[in-house]
Amino acid sequence: MDKFTAMTAFAEVARRGNFGAAAEHLGMSRAMVTRHVAALENALGARLLNRTTRRLSLTGEGQAYLERCQLILAEIEETELAVGQLSTRPRGTLRISAPMSFGMFHLAPAIAAYQNVWPEVAVELVLNDRYADLAEDGVDVAVRAGQLDDTRLIARPLARARLVLCAAPIYLETRGVPRRPDDLGAHNCLRYVYRSSTWDMSRDGENFSVIVHGDLESNVGDALREIAIAGRGIVMLPTYMVGEDLRTGRLRRVLADYELPDVPIYAVYLHRRHLSAKVRTFVDFLLDRFTPAPSWEA
C-alpha cells in the first residue's frame, strides 16, 4: 500500500462525505479510492468509516486518525513548499471559511484582489455563520467575528467592528424612536439566533441589559438587514454589515448615545511549524487591507 496516497484518499473522502466526489477531486476511479481506504483500514486494524447506502460517517477511530492524518499531510505539503522557489511563491488550493455577511461584503472582494496578485492560488470559499472545525473540515484560514475560545488556533487580529442598533426611517416614523434602552420592550426587535435575546449596552459607566422580543429571527445577519431596511423592526448588527446603509440613510441608528460591544475580527489558522506561503501571504494581505481603519468604519 502507498500509505501517503491512502491517507490522502481517506482525508478527501472524509472532507467531501462520499467516495465519488473524492475520486473526482483526486483524479482517480471510485474503485481505486475505495481500495485505498480499505487497505488503510486493514493496515490499521480499525474501521475508519461507517458506510451505509445513504451516507458516510467517521467512526471514533476515524475522527482521531483524520486529525493526525491532516496534520501529517499538511506537514508534507509545507515541507515540499519550503524547498526552493515554492517556499516563497504561493500556489495550490487555499480553503477559506468565513461568516456569511462578512464573506459577501468584504472578504470576497479581498479574495479577488489577492488572486490578482497571486494567480497560482485557487480558492475554495465556504460561507457559514457557524464556526468550521479547521482540522476536521480541512480549512486553511478562517475569518471569525467575535470572541475566540479555541486554543489550538493561531489568531491574527484583522479589525474591529461596532455593534449598532438601527432601523429604517419608515419604521421609526410609524412606531416612534426609542429614547432609553427600556423603550425597546415596546418595539419589534429582529433577532440573530447566534446572539442572546438580551441586548447589552452602556452609557456614562452605567450598564443596561434589555430582553428583547420580536416576530422574526434568523441565522443569517444579512437577512435581518434586508428585513430591517423593509421597515419591519429594529436590529442589532455590526458596522461591517450596515455601514453603507447608515451612510446612505436606508437605516438610521437608534440609541446612538449608548455604547454597544465591539466585534473583533480575526484570521485564524492551525499552528504549524512551517506556515505555507499561501496562508502566510493571504493573512498578510488581509492585514494590509483592513488595518488600521477598515472601510466600514468610515
pLDDT band at residue 292 using 50, 70 and 90 as cut-offs: confident
pLDDT band at residue 83 using 50, 70 and 90 as cut-offs: low
CATH number attached to the domain at 88-160+263-297: 3.40.190.10
Start and end residues for every CATH 3.40.190.290 domain found in the chain: 161-261
Start and end residues for every CATH 1.10.10.10 domain found in the chain: 3-81
3-81 topology per CATH: Arc Repressor Mutant, subunit A (1.10.10)
3-state secondary structure of 23: helix
Which of 79, 80, 88, 46 minimizes the C-alpha distance to 63?
Answer: 46
Distance CA 130, CA 176 (A): 35
> Which pLDDT score is estimated for 9?
92
231: left (phi over 0), alpha (psi -120 to 50) or beta: left
Model confidence pLDDT, tens digit, residues 170-197: 999 999 999 999 999 999 999 998 888 8
Start and end residues for every CATH 3.40.190.10 domain found in the chain: 88-160+263-297
161-261 topology per CATH: D-Maltodextrin-Binding Protein; domain 2 (3.40.190)
Distance CA 199, CA 237 (A): 11
